[in-house]
Amino acid sequence: MLVHYTGQEMRKYVLQRILILIPMLLIVTFIVFGIMDLTPSDPASLILGSKATEVQKQELNEKLGLNKPFLQRYGEFVWNAAHGDLGDSWRNNRPVFDEITSKLPVSITLAVAAIAIAMLIGIPLGVLSAVKQYSILDMIGTATSMLMSSIPSFWFGMIAILLFSLKLKILPSNGNDTWRHYILPSVTLALSVIASLLRMTRTTMLEALRQDYIRTARAKGQTEKVVIFKHALKNALLPVITSAGMEFGGLLGGVVTIETVFSINGVGSLVLTGIRMKDAPLVTGSALVLAALYMLVMLFVDILYAYIDPRIRARYTKR
């Protein structure tokens, strides 16, 4: 019996997921807004400097609205954000949205490059480890993935700068002017993701290779290459896709350390500067944008998962 896909059910599912984003974004912004409010430093003192008088500091605090109750200030932020206004940065009086959008392409480029490198290396190595289980290659791959997961990324970054920039002088150590500037930070950022995807792919491949349909395919005389890549890998990649999507979303918000090590002018560096200056609109607006991007990436992964996996797609079909 034929099964016809109904786009209406899928649109309903997507709409429900988008509506779920609203309370989650409210929780994220409330936490960030509260943390910025609880930090002991005074924004007026950081902006005006130590030479400013108390009268000048109080006037600036009044201008910034810091004398209002916390819930009132947060409510005003949410109301303005719902209308597309994230406020102005306390540091330079520029719109926060313009500040974020000017830096966001750099961070997205870095995250996309890192996840691409991780998938191109981690997934094939995971497949190889599963096919060659308990071999020397499998043990080397497993040990290497554990090592890459345990060592902080900023340490890899500093070692990469010392080796490839200062000693060999083949790659730039800071900035983001050309594509060559993205090589070291992208590889550094990808190392932990490579380890994660390698372990995930190995686990799912081993589970797939033990299924009955694999034994049936081999009993029918199909080649090992067809069994691995056409049957086992196709099903093993489903959890890997979800893991890769989560890793990519995490990379968007977790590039602060790498951008600092390599002096890259992205959203991570922008947020770090905002925290130092206690620039609440900038930090909260950045957290809102990054959280929304992460959730949209996960929504895209779920939709892609539904199209790939017939068991999930069956929920949105009718006979």
Q: Are 184 and 128 part of one and the same domain?
A: yes
Q: Are 1 and 50 part of one and the same domain?
A: yes
The two structure tokens encoding residue 89:
């940065």
Q: Are 122 and 230 part of one and the same domain?
A: yes
pTM (two decimals): 0.80
Among 234, 261, 293, which residue terminates a domain?
Answer: 234
Closest CA to 293 of 128, 112, 98, 126: 112
Q: Are 107 and 226 part of one and the same domain?
A: yes
Quick: pLDDT tens for 271-291. 888 888 888 888 888 888 888
Q: How many domains does the chain have?
A: 2
* Across 247-265, average pLDDT: 81
- pLDDT given for residue 308 in this prediction: 66
**Which domain, by its residues, includes 285?**
1-91+277-319
3-state secondary structure of 309: coil
**Residue 252 within any structural domain of the chain:** no
Q: Are 125 and 216 part of one and the same domain?
A: yes
Q: Are 82 and 123 part of one and the same domain?
A: no
Among 179, 208, 234, which residue terminates a domain?
Answer: 234
Sign of CA dihedral 26, 27, 28, 33: positive
> In the chain, what percentage of residues exceed pLDDT 90?
5
Q: Are 152 and 79 part of one and the same domain?
A: no
> Cβ contacts of residue 48 below 8 Å, gap of 6+?
56, 57, 60
Does residue 4 have a pLDDT over 50?
no
Quick: pLDDT tens for 72-98. 889 988 998 888 888 888 888 888 988
